[in-house]
Amino acid sequence: MTATATTRDVVGPGTKVGLRRVPRWGQALFVLGIWVLVWAVMRGQDTLILPGQAKTGLHDSMSQWKSDLIAGRDDNAFMQFTGWIADQIEAVGTWLQELVSEPAPPRPVPEIGWFGVVAVASWVGFAVAGWRIALLVLGSFLAFGLLGYWEDSMDTLIITFFSVAVALVVGLPLAVLMAKSTRVTAVVAPVLDLLQTMPSFNYLLPVFLFFGLGIPAGVVATVIYCTPPVVRIAAHGIRSVSGTTVEATDSVGQTRWQRLRKVELPMAKSTIVVGINQTTLAALAIVIIGGFINMPGLGGPVLDALTGQQTGNAFVSGLCIVIMAIMLDRTTTAASVHGEKLARSGTFDPRRHRIVLAVTGAVALVCVYYSRTYLKLAEFPESALGPAIGREMAMKVQSFADWFTSTFDAWTTAIKDVVSTFLLNPLQDLIANSPWYVTAVALTMLALVVSGLRPALITVVCLTGLYLSDLWNDSMITLTMTLVGALIVMILALVLGVAMARRPGVDLVLRPVLDAAQVMPAFVYLIPTLLLFGPTRFTAIVAGVIYAAPIAIKLVADGIARVSATTVEAAVSSGSTAWQVITKVQLPMARGNVVLAVNQGLLYVLSVVVIGGLVGAGALGYDSVLGFSQSQYFGKGIAAAGCIVLLGIMLDRFARGAVERQQRNNDILTRRPISGAI
Amino acid sequence: MSTTAEHEASQRLTNGHDATNAAVSVRALWKVFGPKAEQIVGSPEATLSRSELMTRTGCTVAVNDVSFDVAPGEVFVVMGLSGSGKSTLIRCLTRLIEPTAGEVLLDGEDVRDMSDTRLRELRRTHVSMVFQHFGLLPHRQVIDNVAYGLEIRGAKKKERHARAKEMVDLVGLTGYERSYPDQLSGGMQQRVGLARALAVDPSVMLFDEPFSALDPLIRRDMQKEVIRLHEEVGKTMVFVTHDLQEALKLGDRILIMRDGAVVQIGTPAEVVAQPADDYVRDFVSDVPRSHVLTLRYVMREPRPSDSDEGPVMSPDTIVRQAARAALASAHPVRVVENGQVIGIVDDDAILRVVVAEEGAPA
């Protein structure tokens, strides 16, 4: 991609000047204006609406294909292969479940009771990240039990760890290969790109087809979704190991293997652990969504509670997810620096440390033994302190929620109505109620004007796919929701990002909140928004905004913070007002990051808006869920999944094209005088 | 200057050193970066200017037909501005960068013919290198950084730590064994780099601008350190620098490079007194000549009328050291080599060197 970019900017100065005459936003507005005019005349024609329960021949034939595939499962080699893999995963999964969460026959309880599990988990926390983390782990595990979700929490953890283990076994060698070979990178990087563009939700349906329901499908979907981060980040870490150090250690005659093991991997270790952290959180996110395909774990109860409008239960099970996310995040983050921190502390004595680990480990094993002997230590006790807490909390939250909704209903409805009337409805009217060909041409023109020829071509391809899927109208509604969400995200990002960058105090307060918010699986955000706004598309948009805002805000803030202090000083010394500094210096110089924030905003909102199909957002998300739940709608669900991918690619390339174009312009502007001097 | 003339010059200047006994012997070495690099070697295109060659072939000649010999125990300095190819040259000696053509003989064996195993063997035991940006392992303590070369070749932990400890003491870092590199100052980090290079007890040490990243005061300390170590351990050293003062201070001989080619090879006094061309002349114009020039370069032919009562000195005496005695005596200095008076240095000759220096622009 970069290669074409460079060849194209050779065309350079002449064309540049031509384009500059009318700025890009002006051209975009022009396109938009014409679109509105055409829409006013042709509104409502050829909108290709397909009602929720309706399906087309295409969808039916795909459902049929699925039925045939499943009927022919015993003859089809590929299906046999996936079936075999599913069996293996199932076996390991069941074994793990019987170890810590499910009764292991002939025992009425798991092999290791809660007491043993808590002890071992805390010990692991201590060993990898120190006693603070051990306490955090201890507290978290006790909370799972006390809130009444011990089994579900254990299931979620099992599948998360299982998937992360597989992801690392596959991902780390791949990362090393990528770091070493540009050819491997050229092949693997685009695949990773695509995998990361797709909303997590989308992996479920195809996986469900080949691996059935439950743990196997869950693990496969999770592995596919959570492997890319660690590959990408670890490869980056290995590649950025200082060349001087590699050369210096080469000069004493090390072999390649010694170089990898003694120099590159240790030096990239903390980056690799960041990758593991990202992978773990991604895995958790999808394990939760896996409730859709009957995956054991916390996803199920949350999903049930959401569909049944039981805010209290949703809150308590959601709380378990939040605790788990924080626990996993803190533990992996602390683990990345723990070893070196110990060694640097000065008073560190490796032998004593080993003895402490051995003794505490023995204590944990004793706890395991007791948990196998006493029933009270095996099953989380149902007592005044037991799961009753969770139930009580659920009831309190429920009554609070009822009170809240009845009291503030007017307010939330007002907010919802204002956004719907002035933003959502008009935009949806324009995009979804224009004749499909008008919308298609308009979107392509916008891509061409804003992002360039390549993104425009990709837009054409994606739009063609959407048209062929027979889900044009639903796609356009989902697109509208995504755009509205991203717009709100960007308003938040610009306001808060600028505030963070300009005022250290704001940064100090906001950053930890954003960091914590980024750790949560998207699904969790549906719970409070559902409470506030009820089951509507607006709920999904708000959840998407909450999910996408942290990354966008941070990108803007970091982009502005990176603007050279000297430049800002120069602007201030020439008498600029604060507003002028922001609009004329800081934002333009941070434009790359701002556009990147738009990109991330669009993709994040899309992924949540789709999950929101469950809580009344309708459109593509709803079509997908229908595909899981009812066999005859499978074809429509798959088509919807395809549409979501196409929308994701289209939005991603659109925003990315804008960034690249931006950077090219900057390059040309900054390079020209230098090359002139030579 | 044409390549052949250069070659002759280098031949002439390396005379006196027996090439067969040289610790390092480089013959017609080339390094060309770019597509089809081999075709550039020795072709007419190699004489083109850099930018012209780049636009025509996409290649850069980093090392252009370089030959020299380094005697055992000698400190040989390669000097040039940035981009002159000196860092590439020193890396070609152990094939950290693969040369395009030519020979690199270490104790008579051609490095370019070595198998990977033999080359590793060479790097592990025979040649070690000190780098400009230290290249330390940030996740290892000083002692383990120093011991790295020994670890790589399979030394037991006890043994390598004992040796590393000795080296840490030798470079004056006693007490910092358990520190991490980022807890040390730049000068101290480079001492670690030195200790690491010394630990494998190499016969040849390579230095790639080791002190360029350091403060001037620290740099001076480190230069003294290298001189001291050279006196103590007597290794053959190839030292790359862009700093003429450093080159003159450390080098037994200096090779001056420009655009990848050798401009001049000679002792510090030769380079200052007889610059090979305007480039070198310009280079050495700011050098305090009295610190570098020896009497050999300021003496005149003896005449029968000369007094035979003046002080006697060797032709290798540096002017500054001779100045006080020469000016104090009423008679001119007699320069004596092998019992023969080979020249006379009068007050005028000394003053010309000292005064010219003070009159020179700073």
- Cβ within 8 Å, pair B123-A253: yes
Structure-block tokens of residue B187:
């000068």
Give A251 or A340, the one with higher predicted confidence: A251
Residue B205 phi, psi dihedral angles, 5° rounding: -115, 135
Mutation site for B-interface testing, chosen from A241, A249, A252, A256 by largest number of B Cβ within 10 Å: A252
* Average pLDDT in chain A: 79
User: Strands B261-266, B253-258: parallel, antiparallel or unpaired by DSSP?
Assistant: antiparallel
A242 chain-B contacts, CB cut-off 8 A = 133, 135
Give the distance from residue A145's alpha carbon to the nearest chain B alpha carbon, in angstroms. 40
Question: What pTM value is reported for the model?
Answer: 0.75
Q: Tell me the pLDDT band of B143, cut-offs 50, 70 and 90.
A: very high
User: Would the pLDDT of A124 be above 70?
Assistant: yes
Compute how many other C-beta atoms are within 10 angstroms of the C-beta atom of residue A331. 24
Q: Nearest-CA residue of chain B relative to A339?
A: B139
SS3 track for A327-390: HHHHHHHHHHHHHHHHHHCCCCCHHHHHHHHHHHHHHHHHHHHHHHHCHHHHCCCCCCCCCHHH
Chain A residues touching residue B153 (CB < 8 angstroms): 253
Q: Does A344 touch chain B (CB under 8 A)?
A: yes
A247 touches chain B (CB under 8 A): yes
Contact A367, A305 (CB under 8 A): no
Higher pLDDT, B14 or B317: B317
Q: Quick one: closest CA in B to A251, which residue?
A: B123
Eight-class DSSP state of A104? -
- C-alpha B334: how far from its chain's center? 32
Interface test with A, best of B96, B139, B201 (most A CBs within 10 A): B139
Q: How far is CA A531 from CA A400, A492, A535, A675, B300, in A?
A: 10, 22, 9, 60, 104
Look at residues A281, A217, A227 and name the one whose alpha carbon lies nearest to residue A628.
A217
- Min Cα distance A458 → chain B (Å) is 35
Q: Which chain A residues contact residue B140 at CB under 8 A?
A: 266
The beta-carbon neighbor of A253 closest among B131, B153, B193 is: B153
Cβ–Cβ below 8 Å for A245 and B135: yes
Q: Residue B301 and residue A312: Cα distance in Å, rounded?
A: 109
Mean local confidence (pLDDT), A137-155 = 85
Instruction: Tell if the CB–CB gap between B123 and A252 is shorter than 8 Å.
Output: yes
Per DSSP bridges, beta strands B75-79 and B101-106 are: unpaired
Give A 255-314 residues with CB within 8 A of chain B.
255, 258, 262-263, 266-267, 269
**CB within 8 Å: B141 and A252:** no
Residues of A in contact with B202 (CB under 8 A): none
Helix (H, G, I), strand (E, B) or coil at A132: helix
pLDDT in tens, B98-123: 999 999 998 888 999 998 888 888 88
DSSP symbol at A584: I
User: Considering only the top CATH level, what class is A475-678?
Assistant: mainly alpha
Interchain CB distance below 8 Å, A344 and B153 = no
Distance CA A211, CA A203 (A): 12
Q: Any idea of the CA torsion for B174, B178, B184, B190, to the nearest 10 degrees?
A: 60
List, for residues B171-221, the tens digit of each pLDDT value: 888 999 888 888 898 889 989 998 998 898 898 999 998 888 888 888 888
With a CB cutoff of 8 Å and minimum separation 6, the contacts of A452 are: A657, A660, A661
Find chain B residues with C-beta within 8 A of A252's C-beta.
123-124, 128, 148-149, 152, 196, 200
The pLDDT of residue B205: 92
Q: Which two tokens stand for residue B216?
A: 């001037």
Q: How far is B45 from chain A (nearest CA, A)?
A: 22
What does the alpha-carbon distance between residue A609 and residue A480 come to, in Å, rounded to a whole number?
10
One-letter amino acid identity for B163?
Answer: R
- How many helices and strands (H and E) does chain A possess? 32, 0
| pLDDT score, position A169 | 93
Q: Please state whether beta strands B204-208 and B127-130 pair in parallel, antiparallel, or not at all (unpaired).
A: parallel
For chain B, what percent of residues have pLDDT higher than 90?
Answer: 20
B188 closest CA partner among B142, B151, B148: B142
Q: Which of A111, A322, A300, A151 is nearest to A214 (CA)?
A: A300
What is the rounded CA–CA span in Å between residue A265 and residue A175? 11
- What's the angle, vertex CA B218, arms to CA B217 and CA B221, rounded to 5? 95
Instruction: List CB contacts (< 8 A) between B149 and chain A.
Output: 252-253
pLDDT band at B19 (very low <50, low <70, confident <90, very high): low
ipTM higher than the 0.90 cut? no
The minimum CA-CA distance between A135 and chain B, rounded to whole Å, is: 28
Residue in B139, B149, B196 closest to A266 by CB = B139
Residue A670 confidence class, pLDDT cut points 50, 70, 90: very low
- Inspect the interface and report whether the beta carbons of A245 and B136 lie closer than 8 Å: yes
| B235 secondary structure, DSSP code | -
Pull the structure tokens for residue B11: 């031949």
Q: Which residues of B touch A248 (CB under 8 A)?
A: 129, 131, 134-136, 193, 196
* Contact flag A250-B123 (C-beta cutoff 8 Å): yes
Q: Can you tell me the distance from the alpha carbon of B1 to that of A315, in angstroms, rounded to the nearest whole number?
A: 84
Give residue-wise pLDDT tens across range A104-116.
677 677 777 777 8
The answer to whether the CB atoms of B96 and A250 lie below 8 A apart is: yes
CB A544 within 8 Å of CB A608 = yes
Average pLDDT on A467-491 reads: 86
Contact A252 B149 (CB under 8 A): yes
A340 chain-B contacts, CB cut-off 8 A: 139
**A341/B contact by beta carbon, under 8 A:** no
The percent of residues in chain A predicted with pLDDT above 90, rounded, is: 1
DSSP for B20-68, written as a single string: GG-SEEEEEEEEEESTTGGGGTTSGGGGS-HHHHHHHHS-EEEEEEEEE
Mean pLDDT of B290-303: 81
CB spacing of B139 vs A340 below 8 angstroms: yes
Q: What is the 3-state secondary structure (H, E, C) of A41-81?
A: HHCCCCCCCCCCCCCCHHHHHHHHHHHHHHHCCCCCHHHHH
pLDDT at residue A334, as a whole number: 84
Residue B268 pLDDT more than 60? yes
Chain A residues with CB-CB distance to B115 below 8 A: none
Least confident of A11-20, A286-295, A517-526, A538-547: A11-20
Give the residue extent of every domain in chain A: 475-678
pLDDT at B287 over 80: no
Task: Give the chain B residue whose CA is nearest to the CA of A250.
Answer: B96
